[in-house]
Structure 1
Amino acid sequence: MTMSDIHALSGAYALDSVDDIERATFERHLRECDTCAQEVRELQATVARLADESATPPPPGLRAEVLRQISQTPQLTNGQAARVSRSQAAQVTRWRRYAAVSVAAAVAAIAVGAGTWAVSEARVRDARDQLAAERRNASDMQRVLAAPDARVLTGPGRDGGSVTLVMSRSQDAAVAMLGGMPDVGDKTYQLWLITGNQAQSQGIVGNGVTAGAMIVRGLGSADTFGVTVEKPGGAQQPDLTQLIRTLSLS
């Protein structure tokens, strides 16, 4: 198991979804990796909060929808698995499991939040819109992770943490994750697809990110994926002096 494989186990370990060998290996790693230890603590706290019986019950049907999304996660067939390397197949499997966890937690968080809101048409509509967006993200992530041409790209961040991308040209999309990224004060992390000298923003993510999967759509002819630190709200073009990591898509 490579170092990138071990780091990718944080989400599965927090939800007790690892086998005995993975558990023993990861627990040894936890004693030496503060970043992974912090990720596990935060993920376990989130899971505990969502499982708290004292929390306001979510609206009817949302829990069933979360379970349905997870149950329908596509699996690689034997023919598909033969078209990727053994190590890549293992990484994609872990990413599929992690993405399902991330999507389920996000949808469940919406459900818990919706249950605590005062009943109003506007807020119910907002909750439905958010849930619809999460469903679209879940579906797109699942297609990328199950694609026969899925590739796993990863590298360390400039100042710590890691940037990982699972990309599929056939799906024209990718799943991105920033892990253990350092706090950048009042600034934000921004994702980019770069074609030659042209960069297109793929959105911003919160400060001090430790976990979370994000869908990146419309790879097109992009040859590079990049992450920068930008001013609050993001920028129209990347500040190359604040480049955290680039990953070649070719």
Structure 2
Amino acid sequence: MSMFTKVGAEAAAAGNDNGGAKESPMTSFKSGSLFKVGVKSINNVAEYYGYSIFNKVNTFVPKNPATRNAKGFISSGQTVWDKASELLYAEANAAKEAGASEDAVKVITDEAYLYKGKKRYLRAFYDLTTGKDIVVDLSPKQEQTLKSVIEDNVDDLDVITFKLAKKGAGTAAVVSLNAIVKVERDLTDEERANFAKIGDEPFDFADFETCLYVADEEEQTKNLVIAGFDIGRLGLSIGANASSSNNAQTPSDAGAPLDISDDDLPF
């Protein structure tokens, strides 16, 4: 089963609703990032559901992800994180029916939300400085922002270059994709030469497979412990070394977990 729920044209359309030995094109896209890029195709995008807790567990995708319907709801094959979330939502519902206060119920639903898989997007660009494809990780809102610009220029992608940027922090973080108007001034000779080669090779969708950290059920269970969830409630147990599991690798490493901050979350 693929880690991606949608790839290519299908993933691009989905944005409308609100590792191997090969070097990974995954690129850190933090606040302050600025890239001069070209866009090979609006369809160079993949949708996935990632699991993480900020500052505790970096983003991973399950080795055997749940099956989801067209609206993103799980229809079968729940992961242990999905089960943890479902258990807490059921607990919140029971508390509400028992007359618990709205604030008390919210504490439980907020925790339940932490363990849910969150929709994310990987989008590929052509880095004019290096002459190589790069991939950045985006929230649904960020993907829609960038895709809208690409849509507006979709018939001229072979002649338009862009500046891809991320500015600000927290809730004020903003991603942007702006056309470079003064090419002679803003691009070096090498960057212009690289752009002239943008159509030589299409983006290889197999490269998306190198961009995400994949965790099997044992590691997912250890990550639940790191996150602070009592896995005994799911009838699970692990060895004593679980809490020492190192899940804070550098995001730019091929296949390493992504450390997604609060400003990247889809709400």
Judging by fraction of residues, say which structure has more helix: 1
Q: Which has the higher contact order (CA 8 A, sep 6+)?
A: 2
Asked if TM exceeds 0.5, the reply is: no
TM-score of the superposed pair, with normalisation by structure 2: 0.25
